[in-house]
Homo-oligomer: A and B are copies of this chain.
Amino acid sequence: MGSEILGLSIIQTFSPRDYMIIKVESVIAITKTKYQEVIIADLKGYGRALVLDGLIQSTEVDEYIYHESLVHPVMVTHPNPERVLIIGGGEGATLREVLKYNTVRKVTMVDIDGELIELCKKYLKSYHQGAFDDPRAEVLIMDGKEYVKKTQEKFNIVILDLTDPYGPEISKALYSQEFYEKIYKILKDDGLMVTQAGSSFYFEKVYDYVLNNVRQVFPVVVEYNVWIPSFGYACNFIIGSKKYNPKTLNINEVEERLNKRGVRGKLRFYSATTHISLMYLPIYRA
């Protein structure tokens, strides 16, 4: 009997029509918060994982690839990132990456789902690694749209770590031109934002909609993509910048910045050569 596929599994889509079947070793938590269905489970071969509305957000074996790719290109491109805003990012791993920079004085993380944050704090310790307790970190449970509308602060970097633009309803407004205009306003003149943007290969129209929204607002727009194994696709990222362009940095400059800012030796995927590679890799389109 084909015993390998037997038992508890996560079935997730990774395109408008394809599915992945991933074996579950144990289920740590399964609940519906006010905003989404949350599963925290140990997946065979992937370790502890966060699954929101049936879609894997992160797994222990490859979350570093996603979070390093999201955070470091903008952080390195900025000449002196001191003030950072994260919207989403419930696992605390984006926060963890930002806090690696000794230039950072304060990071505000805004997530709408307080129940999710509590679950992540409790069950995803290998992700946040105590980042929530860093004195430079401020965590606010509120709607990112509201925060962006009301805050009086200005940021060097805004990082949007959201569920997919074609995924659950909860995130859709955070990929709109209107929202990017608000991000633009709360960025300093040297500011950059970055958003994950799902798959341009499998959801080309939605991706182009998001890309176009960023282009309507920011003078400098840079795309890159990175294969994330547990997602089943190369995840796209879009940078919107007021001034600095990550494509103009050379290897030595990236290396020097990582060193000076205390990040050297703390990364597993991103590096100076990875930066160049990501900036040169073609964007996947079907």
Contact = CB atoms under 8 A, between A and B. Distances in A.
Interface in A54-79: 54-55, 61-62, 65
B2 A19 contact: yes
A218 interface: no
Nearest to A166: B1
Interface residues of A, number: 59
A21 interface: yes
B45 A17 contact: yes
A130 to B, nearest CB: 25
A108 B6 CA distance: 33
A126 interface: no
Contact of A39 (B8, B10, B53, B61): B8
B6 A11 contact: yes
A interface: dominant SS: mixed
A20 B233 CA distance: 12
A232 interface: yes
Contact of A16 (B45, B53, B279): B45
A269 B13 CA distance: 26
A259 interface: no
A273 interface: yes
Q: Which of A3, A55, A166, A282 lies at the interface centre, i.e. has the most chain B CB atoms within 10 A of its CB? A: A282
Interface of A: 1-13, 15-24, 26-27, 30, 37, 39, 41, 44-45, 51, 53-55, 61-62, 65, 166, 201-202, 227, 229, 232-234, 269, 271, 273-274, 276-282, 284, 286
